[in-house]
Amino acid sequence: MRLAEQGGDVLFVATAEPLDDEMRTRIAAHRMERPATWATLEEPLDLAAALAHLAPSVATVVLDCLTLWVSNRLLLQDNPAADATILAEAERLLDRYAGGTATWIVVSNEVGLGLVPDTELGRRYRDILGEVNQRFAQRAERVLLMVAGLPVDLKRLHAGE
């Protein structure tokens, strides 16, 4: 959010769905944290279509988050064919970014650093989210991994700086 506040009109894209009381509470808290001047788009599934026609005044898009978006998509189509569909949708979303002028700040979680999930769906989720994260990281100018509240600049580390 601090990065997004640095200039211009902001569009906050939320992928969470209020499916239970706990998530409704989280979403309400997130809404309260955002500046009132930011526009909000709530879209849990079809991000590429929802972002097809950004207003020219939008300087920054905050996409929060790929983690829930991949989960939403996977649960919608719970079969191995969903993986290819999700990757294709991720590419469509990256094309939207590349075709526009806004700066994008994309939030995601690294779920591959923990235990191996004990269910097939959990393992598929971990793997497909990892692939989506890699694709976004490849196209990003900067990739920050937050560890204990501190940013680690992965692209700078990778470049050997």
Q: Locate the domains of the chain by residue range.
A: 4-159
Q: What is the predicted pLDDT for the residue at 110?
A: 94
CA distances from 10 to 3, 20, 62, 86 (A): 11, 28, 7, 26
The CATH code of domain 4-159 reads 3.40.50.300
**Contacts for 23 with CB less than 8 Å, ≥ 6 apart:** 16, 17
Q: What is the predicted pLDDT for the residue at 144?
A: 95
30 among known catalytic residues: yes
What global pTM score does this model have? 0.92
Q: Given the residues 5, 30, 82, 85, select the one marked as catalytic.
A: 30
In a structure prediction context, what are the per-residue pLDDT tens digits for the chain, which is 161 residues long? 888 988 789 999 999 999 999 999 999 999 999 999 999 999 999 999 999 988 888 999 999 999 999 999 999 887 778 899 999 999 999 999 999 999 999 999 999 998 899 999 999 999 999 999 999 999 999 999 999 999 999 999 988 75
Q: What is the predicted pLDDT for the residue at 161?
A: 59
Q: What is the predicted pLDDT for the residue at 85?
A: 94
Per-residue burial over 55-94, b if 16 or more Cβ lie within 10 Å, else e, is eeebebbbbbbbbbbbbbbbeeeeeeebbeebeebbeebb
